[in-house]
A = this chain, B = another copy of it.
Amino acid sequence: MHLTVSEENYIKAIFHLQEADGTVSTNQLAANIHTKPASVTDMLKKLTSKRLLLYKPYQGVRLSSEGRKLALEIVRKHRLWESFLVDKLQFGWDEVHEVAEELEHISSKKLVDKLDQFLGNPRFDPHGDPIPDSNGVMVSLRQVNLLDLKPLTRAEVCSVGSQSPELLELLKHKQILIGTRLEVQCKFEFDHSLEIQLEARGNITISQQLAQALFVKTI
């Protein structure tokens, strides 16, 4: 089954969007892929005819099992390449996303498996997201949203909720990385902000929006 770059991008977007809801709407997809709803409808029909989607007009779409398998291959490639860029080529973890968006479409199965081996079969990428193995199996992180922690809980950041440049910029400014350790000092009901203590920088305040984007494991 050979897919174009466009087709792969739709499959990947549907995969990520259906994590939240079970089903994905045309408009959601259009916004995510930076295209128009009419274009999405065209592509949904095409991918459905290739048996990669379960799609009823007006009722939204989700991946078929075949589509899910392909999505996991793309996600695997994306995350392995990100790992390569950070671990081997010394890229910063906040500058690898765009390059990996290109590399994830290289088709050779052998390349991916050799790359995986070369990297030591990592289970998580530099953002803390799990990497599917060659069968599409990935461990799910036992991770908690930072917002859910009680005061005085110590935790370590292990993943972030998106790779948007805006979020990455903010994290850089606050000096928060994967692996950063912190302790929740107190929570403010008014705006749902958090005061947290960072090992390196002392106490800082974090907005509700930022806290929701941070996933941690307690330590």
Contacts and interface: CB of A to CB of B under 8 A. Distances in A.
Interface in A71-106: 85, 88-91, 98-99, 102-103, 106
B106 A99 contact: yes
A202 to B, nearest CB: 34
A152 interface: no
Contacts of A102: 106-108
A4 to B, nearest CB: 11
Interface of A is mostly: helix
Interface stretch (A34-42, A110-118, A153-161, A188-196): A110-118
B114 A90 contact: yes
Q: Copies of this chain, how many?
A: 2
Contacts of A99: 106, 108, 110-111
B114 A91 contact: yes
A115 to B, nearest CB: 7
A156 to B, nearest CB: 28
A171 to B, nearest CB: 21
Contacts of A90: 114
A106 B91 CA distance: 16
A84 B99 CA distance: 17
A102 B110 CA distance: 14
Interface string A113-152: 0110010000000000000000000000000000000000
Nearest to A89: B114
A90 B103 CA distance: 19
A89 B111 contact: yes
A111 B85 contact: yes
A90 to B, nearest CB: 7
Contacts of A103: 106
18 contacts: A85-B111, A88-B118, A89-B111, A89-B114, A89-B115, A89-B118, A90-B114, A91-B110, A91-B114, A98-B108, A99-B106, A99-B108, A99-B110, A99-B111, A102-B106, A102-B107, A102-B108, A103-B106
The 3 closest A-B pairs by CB, nearest first: A89-B114, A99-B108, A102-B106
